[in-house]
Amino acid sequence: RKEVEQDPGPFNVPEGATVAFNCTYSNSASQSFFWYRQDCRKEPKLLMSVYSSGNEDGRFTAQLNRASQYISLLIRDSKLSDSATYLCVVNSNSGYALNFGKGTSLLVTP
Amino acid sequence: DAGVIQSPRHEVTEMGQEVTLRCKPISGHNSLFWYRQTMMRGLELLIYFNNNVPIDDSGMPEDRFSAKMPNASFSTLKIQPSEPRDSAVYFCASREREMVGELFFGEGSRLTVL
């Protein structure tokens, strides 16, 4: 089983829609969780950290369920500029490095 | 501020040739990572350095791959001899402190081995 698993999509949604991505991780001892965004042929960039109590950053909401080892990202009022691949990230067994999911592709259409 | 700088951005080479990828981390960052990205496998961690010392190289696929960090501002990833299955985008990333904080990626080196 891969350490971080995501639905690859693609998710095709119209502008203004709400879309949710899910991710599961295998290491129950993981302590750090993130969502990164990667535009086509670009490097990944941090979108937001994920905290135990859940957190929001504008139109983006992240949730963590430790019991189910599940992370989610909700995007409200989707914009064309949200089109990208969203990578779920969890710290590795060693704690030093970060393990990335393969990503979920989002396409927001006019 | 300069971000993580990688070179070359693109490399096309023939099977059997040596490939050297270079990385300059963000000044003041103590941790450096090499990742490889392919469509099939996504982003895979190859090796991690902290304070210029290799901490975990369990992701290095085989002896053909080697990485060095001779000082805090420079790292190399070498493949010798290269094979077509090594074709991928190789990312270098750095982080300010061990185990803490955002990972900043370079723009990547796109390698094609014919």
Closest CA of chain A from B88, distance in Å: 12
What tens digit of pLDDT does each residue of B25-61 get? 999 999 999 999 999 999 999 999 999 999 989 899 8
Chain B partners within 8 Å of A100 (Cβ): 35, 42-43
**What is the pLDDT at residue A81?**
97
Closest chain B residue by Cα to residue A48: B102
Could you give the residue ranges of the DSSP H alpha helices within B1-114?
A: none
Chain A partners within 8 Å of B34 (Cβ): none
**What is the pLDDT at residue B97?**
78
User: Could you give the 3-state DSSP secondary structure of residue A2?
Assistant: coil
CB contact under 8 A, B105 and A45: yes
**What is the pLDDT at residue A1?**
62
Closest chain B residue by Cα to residue A88: B43
Q: Does A54 touch chain B (CB under 8 A)?
A: no
Residue type, B56: D
Kindly indicate the confidence band of residue A80, based on its pLDDT and cuts at 50, 70 and 90. Answer: very high
Residue type, B41: R
What tens digit of pLDDT does each residue of A17-49 get? 999 999 999 988 888 899 999 999 999 999 999
**What is the pLDDT at residue A97?**
80
Closest CA of chain B from A29, distance in Å: 14
Chain B partners within 8 Å of A43 (Cβ): 91, 105-108
Checking if the pLDDT of B99 tops 80, the result is: no
CB contact under 8 A, B56 and A103: no
Whether B32 contacts B51, CB under 8 Å: no
The whole-chain average pLDDT of chain A stands at 93
Compute, in degrees rounded to 10, the torsion defined by CA atoms A80, A84, A90, A96.
Answer: -120
Whether A72 contacts A20, CB under 8 Å: yes
CB contact under 8 A, A96 and B56: yes
Which of A35, A36, A43, A85 to mutate against chain B (most B CBs within 10 Å)? A43
Of all residues in chain B, the percent with pLDDT exceeding 90 is 89
Closest chain B residue by Cα to residue A6: B42
What does the alpha-carbon distance between residue A106 and residue B34 come to, in Å, rounded to a whole number?
26
CB contact under 8 A, A91 and B91: no
Of all residues in chain B, the percent with pLDDT exceeding 70 is 98
Please return the burial class of B44, using the count of CB atoms within 10 Å of its CB with bins 0-12, 13-18 and 19+: middle
